[in-house]
């Protein structure tokens, strides 16, 4: 979730960079990408071997006032904020105020069906909880008690630890749990225990009421036209699933602290960055607020993205390469991940995203994929055939899927990939989007 008629104004003269060498391949790429993809602006930070080697703003932070992006521009975090929630939980664990294996029922009033759900399950998206239900109003204010009542009313999709399923509701619950255990609102815990000590001077909980210097505006594409983001109630901009203001300068200080293993013990970091083990002995590529994967070339990567209110974010840490890339953009649906990975490849070529090759499919195969697909009870998308490709609309933007094999597709200039599943009779049953977490949409009749 922590997933808007204006002329796009982009000027390469607004690009601000600290790159030391003469040529600026990163700046050239980003400025070209913003124009091609109708993204108002982005901020980028790269740390390599302990030093900030790139801290830059490109394009526009606010189209109406013609304000450019700088490294001090404040963006919304979306779900990138989950790593800070996880850090706060781990700090309470190391202070013995909480245990990873505590059942949630030890601290909060929850139904019997939650009896086996632990803190660890919430951190790793293995609790059986899902996302906000269809029909949940984003324009209404809620107390934490209201939110918890909504959460516990949702059916569990599976037994705790059986599967991995990304859950914003699990992290909202963790924020409520932090208050219960610490006696403080989770945002105050972050400010006092993390942001303040690390010198993250812009980092804070979202507030549209407060005067926030350098705050960017968020946008969305609708029918190819940029529009302002939609309004969300103040309550839903204070939940622990990702409701922070951050700058790339803040993220440089955060990355420095992670590299130096500040705030937690070495063992705490090892737990946070270990893939979760499921009940059947297999593992899922997620730790505590971090995706844990390997690149196509085999390099270890710790990553997370975010999307909320017309903003997207992404952090990629390559610990074995001494490199971190962070990107914030102010347009819903923009691929901050692709920008970060392309820029990482300018510093360590082996980290560049792989090139995809288009395949020619039998038109009958393409037509078999056309139709409607449903993501749980939240979203329906309609796929159609356009020439030798598939098309749909995603967050107001036309999404073109290029075939790479009979069942797999890719989007140009993006990290999104797609595949289709068939049953034993060859009937198409599902459409899977990797972003990089997989979203499975079932085929509708």
Q: Spell out the per-residue pLDDT of the chain, length 445, in tens.
A: 443 222 222 333 333 333 344 478 999 999 999 999 999 999 999 999 999 999 999 999 999 999 999 999 999 999 999 999 999 999 999 999 999 999 999 999 999 999 999 999 999 999 999 999 988 999 999 999 999 999 999 999 999 999 999 999 999 999 999 999 999 999 999 999 999 999 999 999 999 999 999 999 999 998 889 999 999 999 999 999 999 999 999 999 999 999 999 999 999 999 999 999 999 999 999 999 999 999 989 999 999 999 999 999 999 999 999 999 999 999 999 999 999 999 999 999 999 998 899 999 999 999 999 999 998 777 889 999 998 999 998 766 788 999 999 999 999 988 889 999 999 999 999 999 987 778 899 999 9
- Give the C-alpha separation, 143 to 185, whole Å: 12
- Among residues 100, 85, 79, the alpha carbon closest in space to that of 268 is found at 100
- Environment class of residue 21 by beta-carbon count within 10 Å: exposed (0-12), middle (13-18) or buried (19+)? exposed
**Are the CB atoms for 220 and 171 separated by under 8 Å?**
no
**Cα–Cα distance list, 347 to 52, 129, 237, 294, 301 (Å):** 12, 39, 35, 18, 15
Backbone angles phi, psi at 20, to 5 degrees: -85, -30
Give the up-direction half-sphere exposure of residue 345: CA atoms within 13 A in the CB hemisphere. 16
What would the two tokens of residue 142 be?
Answer: 């809620």
**Is-contact 49 59, C-beta < 8 A?**
no
- Sequence-ordered list of residues with C-beta below 8 angstroms from that of 162, at least 6 positions apart, any chain: 126, 128, 278, 279, 280
Give alpha helix (H) positions in 348-386: 363-369
Cα torsion angle, 8, 11, 16, 21, sign: positive
CA-wise closest residue to 53 among 33, 26, 76? 26
Distance of CA 34 to the CA centre of its chain: 19
| SS3 state of residue 196 | helix
Give CA–CA dist 428/430, Å, rounded: 6
Q: What 3-state class would DSSP assign to 441?
A: strand
CA distance 249 to 245: 12
pTM, 2 dp: 0.89
Q: Return the half-sphere exposure (C-beta side, CA atoms, 13 A cut-off) of residue 38.
A: 20
Distance between CA 271 and CA 255 in Å, rounded?
18
Structure tokens, 381: 């998308």
The rounded radius of gyration (Å) of the Cα atoms in the chain is 21
């Amino acid at each position: 979730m922590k997933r808007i008629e204006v002329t796009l104004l982009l000027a390469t003269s607004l690009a601000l960079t600290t790159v030391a060498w003469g040529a600026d391949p990163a700046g050239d790429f980003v400025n070209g990408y913003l124009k091609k993809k109708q993204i108002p602006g982005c901020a980028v930070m790269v740390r390599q071997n302990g030093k900030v080697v790139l801290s830059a703003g490109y394009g526009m932070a606010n189209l109406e006032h013609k304000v450019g992006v700088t490294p001090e521009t404040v963006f919304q975090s979306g779900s990138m904020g989950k790593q800070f929630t996880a850090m706060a939980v781990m700090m309470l664990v190391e202070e013995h105020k909480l245990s990873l294996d505590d059942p949630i029922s030890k601290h909060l009033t929850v139904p019997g069906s939650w009896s086996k759900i632990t803190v660890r399950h919430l951190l790793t998206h293995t609790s059986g909880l899902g996302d906000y239900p269809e029909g949940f109003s984003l324009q209404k204010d809620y107390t934490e008690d209201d939110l918890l009542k909504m959460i516990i009313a949702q059916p569990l999709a599976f037994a705790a630890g059986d599967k991995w399923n990304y859950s914003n509701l699990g992290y909202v619950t963790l924020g409520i749990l932090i208050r219960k255990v610490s006696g403080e609102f989770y945002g105050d815990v972050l400010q006092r225990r993390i942001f303040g000590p690390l010198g993250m001077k812009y980092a804070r909980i979202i507030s549209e009421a407060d005067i926030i210097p350098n705050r960017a505006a968020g946008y969305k594409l609708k029918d190819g036209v940029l529009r302002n983001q939609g309004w969300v109630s103040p309550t839903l901009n204070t939940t622990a699933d990702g409701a922070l203001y951050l700058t790339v300068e803040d993220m440089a200080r955060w990355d420095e602290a992670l590299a130096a293993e500040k705030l937690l013990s070495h063992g705490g970091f090892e737990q946070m960055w270990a893939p979760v083990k499921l009940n059947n002995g297999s593992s899922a590529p997620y730790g505590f607020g971090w995706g844990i994967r390997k690149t196509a070339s085999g390099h270890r990567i710790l990553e997370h993205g975010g999307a909320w209110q017309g903003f997207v974010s992404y952090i990629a840490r390559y610990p074995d390469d001494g490199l971190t890339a962070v990107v914030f953009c102010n347009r819903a649906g923009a691929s901050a991940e692709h920008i970060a990975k392309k820029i990482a490849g300018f510093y360590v070529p082996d980290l560049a995203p792989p090139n995809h090759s288009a395949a020619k499919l039998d038109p009958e195969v393409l037509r078999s994929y056309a139709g409607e697909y449903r993501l749980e009870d939240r979203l329906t998308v309609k796929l159609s055939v356009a020439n030798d490709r598939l098309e749909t609309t995603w967050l107001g933007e036309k999404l073109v899927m290029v075939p790479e094999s009979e069942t797999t597709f890719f989007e140009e200039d993006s990290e999104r990939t797609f595949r289709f599943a068939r049953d034993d009779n060859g009937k198409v049953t599902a459409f899977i989007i990797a972003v990089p977490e997989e979203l499975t949409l079932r085929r509708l009749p």
